[in-house]
């Protein structure tokens, strides 16, 4: 695959407000409005309550990465998925960000009609289900910081390019170029969100 097989089709994504309900097809909400009842901790006189709003899983060594994001064009050319872990994004500092997601599937590419864009206000994050297609989050403000919990295998896989030199593959990564494979680029529209 060395040339784009189709004329470029621009698909516009209307930005949606991220909520626990809206994220269910993609993973879990990681924030105070998760709907999960906190359990008390016997220590500290009830001042500490813990809950488990998401189930993180990883079949290899997990790592925590700190990412610092700058604003970039709100264009989505790539989507990727992971087979061995539930990648998690946790905002630091309360800055908003955008996540572009598509439901898991068995197909070679995500269902293009199922791609959605969500605006997070910075008070909550998300834990993706295994196989959920996604693009790395977009910052709405420069110097947006997000902690990412992921498989160390993905970090390694990102350094192994496919034969086309553009995409990346590995045991825990399937990063596809939608422009190359389907002639599609998504553009996120900021109005009304």
Please give the mean pLDDT across all residues of the chain.
89
67 Rama sector, left if φ>0, alpha if ψ -120 to 50, beta otherwise: beta
pLDDT in tens, 8-57: 999 999 999 999 999 999 999 988 776 767 776 777 777 777 777 777 77
Point out which residues pair with 125 in neighbouring strands: 30
Place of tokens 């700058």: 70
Dist CA 110 CA 132 (whole Å): 9
- Domains of the chain in sequence order: 9-32+57-189 (2.60.120.480)
What is the pTM assigned to this prediction? 0.89
Handedness of CA 158, 161, 166, 172 (dihedral sign): negative
Cβ atoms of residues 184 and 111 within 8 Å: no
Dist CA 176 CA 168 (whole Å): 7
Average pLDDT over residues 76-94: 95
Average pLDDT over residues 95-107: 97
């Amino acid at each position: 695959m060395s040339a784009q097989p189709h004329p470029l089709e621009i698909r516009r994504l209307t930005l949606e407000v991220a909520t626990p309900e809206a994220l269910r097809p993609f993973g879990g909400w990681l924030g105070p409005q998760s709907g999960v009842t906190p359990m008390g901790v016997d220590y500290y006189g009830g001042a500490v309550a813990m809950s488990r709003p998401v189930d993180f899983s990883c079949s290899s060594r997990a790592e925590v990465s700190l990412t610092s994001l700058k604003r970039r064009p709100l264009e989505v050319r790539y989507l990727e998925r992971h087979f061995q872990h539930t990648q998690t994004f946790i905002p630091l500092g309360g800055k908003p960000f955008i996540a572009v997601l598509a439901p898991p599937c068995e197909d070679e590419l995500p269902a293009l009609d199922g791609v959605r864009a969500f605006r997070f206000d910075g008070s909550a994050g998300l834990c993706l289900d295994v196989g959920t297609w996604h693009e790395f989050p977009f910052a709405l403000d420069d110097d947006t910081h997000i902690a990412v919990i992921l498989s160390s295998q993905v970090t390694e896989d990102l350094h192994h390019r496919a034969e086309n030199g553009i995409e990346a593959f590995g045991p825990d990564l399937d990063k596809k170029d939608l422009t190359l494979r389907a002639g599609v680029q998504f553009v996120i529209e900021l109005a009304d969100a």
